[in-house]
Structure 1
Amino acid sequence: MFGTDDLPGLAPGLTVADEAGWTPATELVDGTRLPQLLDAARHRWNAAPHAAAALAWKAYTYWLALPAVLGWASARRVPLLRPADVLIHFEDDQPLLTLGLRRCTEVAVLPTDPLALAGRPEVRVVADEAALLAALRESLLDQHLTPMLDSIHDRVRLGSRTLLGSVASGVAHGVLRAADTLPGSSAQHIGALLDALDIGDLIELVPGPTGELTVQRRTCCLAFTLPQPKICAGCCIRPS
């Protein structure tokens, strides 16, 4: 799933061999490097502080969640996205920032997975499907995004529902964009993931023009407030 395509927000191959120039996400989550991310977003989009924070969060959470979301949907293998194991790189022209994982990042798997028998130190075997989704939630939301959201609230006035709506949208878009490569039902994958994260009420899956599933948001990422306003596909704000 990763390492074969050039995905602009993820390190090639996903893991980072040489960590020189990379920063652990702990420094973003605790607020130390958060001003750097928010300033980069403000300059990139010429955005007001609250809109810059919303758009920076949208970009960051999409690329952060993608390995866990697609790992779970494709193979029931979940890289645990604890802040200390996620690395960020700010110096790229495109995109806003790049994310990668430390080579020692733990991966949660089911007892039936061949990796469960390999005895590798970075493999964590969990009891069942429910425990696998719980591990995804703990590392992605409880340990990473919730404290980062608190750090953002220390700097700008933004509702949690607005920010978590971007997480829900990003999870759904990640699954739908990879739908042709995934086993099973995309709608079921999305439902299970969003329910595990307790954000299933923030989007709706609706038929598109040709019957394909599309994402309808119930919150807005604030892109419409930019000097060159943008109404994203599936936004809760309707263009006039």
Structure 2
Amino acid sequence: MRTLSRTAALDPLLDLLAEAERLRGAPLGVHAPLVAADPGDWSSPADLTPGLVTSLSDEIAAGYGAPRHVGASFLWKSYAYWTAYPIALGWALNRRVPLFTWDNAVFRVGDPRVSVAIRAPRAALVAGDAHADGPGTVAVPSGRALAGVIRREILEGHFTPLIKVINAATRAGERNLWGTVAEAFAHPLLSLAPLILDGDGRREAEELLSLLALDHLVEFAPEFRRRTCCLYVTVPDAKVCATCCVRR
């Protein structure tokens, strides 16, 4: 098995992920070393064809006694959450963002439902960072520019084509799927704030979602809540998610 090198810029994030996993008491959907030792054992985003999306959505939906589009929503919720998780934490921790780009991201389906990793240890960070000239790093001039990298490479280059495929294959609504993305970036900052931030994480979450142009999909006052629904509320006997707009 081939082992890929690590970039030192991501070491603090790896330590944070390990602590988050310890607190959770269960494996994260983020591959523990972050970098896949053998990417050949994983699938790429391009492998999420309409046929595979339909098959996976039907399998998930059957477990809940739900329609296909609900299964698709749950599939995307897991994929988007675990992909956004290390990006959001890297942003808040030290403005070093692992690059889960279309050509560098990989995933596999199992338990957790979706696990994610990257092929090579690549990170975007702000110029002036001690690791700005290190291997595998891309330096940008400011935090705003770093958010621009996330928006361009992750939202537009990675998530948008997958949301289009999921919508076309299952009719899961695009706005709902983007609402899931907004929560995926905010939730890690709000839930793990004591580990990395002063305060409750709300300021960082609001800033990041605003820079990513996702802030219209959520609200923060009086508490964090989505303006869309992941459709879990439609499952028989399910409890309403704490952040769901239906709780109104």
TM-score by length of 2: 0.84
The answer on whether the counterparts of 2:86 and 2:98 sit within 8 Å (CA) in structure 1 is yes
The residue number in structure 2 matching 1:83 is: 102
The answer on whether the counterparts of 1:25 and 1:86 sit within 8 Å (CA) in structure 2 is yes
The residue number in structure 2 matching 1:60 is: 79
The answer on whether the counterparts of 2:30 and 2:86 sit within 8 Å (CA) in structure 1 is no
The answer on whether the counterparts of 1:31 and 1:148 sit within 8 Å (CA) in structure 2 is no
Alpha-carbon separation, structure 2, partners of 1:46 and 1:161: 23
The answer on whether the counterparts of 2:72 and 2:166 sit within 8 Å (CA) in structure 1 is yes
- Report the alpha carbon displacement of residue 116 of structure 1 after superposing the two structures with TM: 0.9
The residue number in structure 1 matching 2:132 is: 116
- Residue aligned with 1:125, SS: strand
Alpha-carbon separation, structure 1, partners of 2:51 and 2:18: 30
The residue number in structure 2 matching 1:106 is: 122
The residue number in structure 1 matching 2:43 is: 23
- Report the alpha carbon displacement of residue 60 of structure 1 after superposing the two structures with TM: 1.1
- Report the alpha carbon displacement of residue 105 of structure 1 after superposing the two structures with TM: 4.0
The answer on whether the counterparts of 1:78 and 1:108 sit within 8 Å (CA) in structure 2 is yes
**Is 1:227 aligned to residue 236 of structure 2?**
yes
**Is 1:8 aligned to residue 28 of structure 2?**
yes
The residue number in structure 1 matching 2:62 is: 43
Q: Taking structure 1 as reference, are residues 173 and 221 closer, same or farther at Cα in structure 2, changes over 3 Å only?
A: same
Q: Deviations over 1:76-110 (max 9, x none)?
A: 001121122111112x3x221211111x2421111
Q: What amino acid sits opposite 2:180 in the alignment?
A: S
The answer on whether the counterparts of 1:2 and 1:14 sit within 8 Å (CA) in structure 2 is no
- Report the alpha carbon displacement of residue 144 of structure 1 after superposing the two structures with TM: 0.8
Alpha-carbon separation, structure 2, partners of 1:162 and 1:5: 27
Q: Identical aligned pairs, as a percentage?
A: 32
Alpha-carbon separation, structure 1, partners of 2:204 and 2:81: 16
Q: What amino acid sits opposite 2:113 in the alignment?
A: L
- Residue aligned with 2:245, SS: coil
Q: In structure 2, list runs of 5 or more residues that go unmatched.
A: 1-15, 22-26
**Is 1:163 aligned to residue 180 of structure 2?**
no
Q: In structure 1, list runs of 5 or more residues that go unmatched.
A: 208-213
Count of paired positions? 227
Q: Deviations over 1:103-130 (max 9, x none)?
A: x242111111111133x1x110111111
- Residue aligned with 1:33, SS: helix
**Structure ranking higher in helix proportion:** 2
Q: Taking structure 1 as reference, are residues 45 and 96 closer, same or farther at Cα in structure 2, changes over 3 Å only?
A: farther
The answer on whether the counterparts of 2:53 and 2:169 sit within 8 Å (CA) in structure 1 is no
Q: CA RMSD in A?
A: 2.0
**Is 1:194 aligned to residue 209 of structure 2?**
yes
The residue number in structure 1 matching 2:246 is: 237
Alpha-carbon separation, structure 1, partners of 2:184 and 2:204: 13
- Report the alpha carbon displacement of residue 71 of structure 1 after superposing the two structures with TM: 0.4
Alpha-carbon separation, structure 1, partners of 2:149 and 2:36: 23
The answer on whether the counterparts of 2:54 and 2:68 sit within 8 Å (CA) in structure 1 is no
Q: What amino acid sits opposite 1:99 in the alignment?
A: V
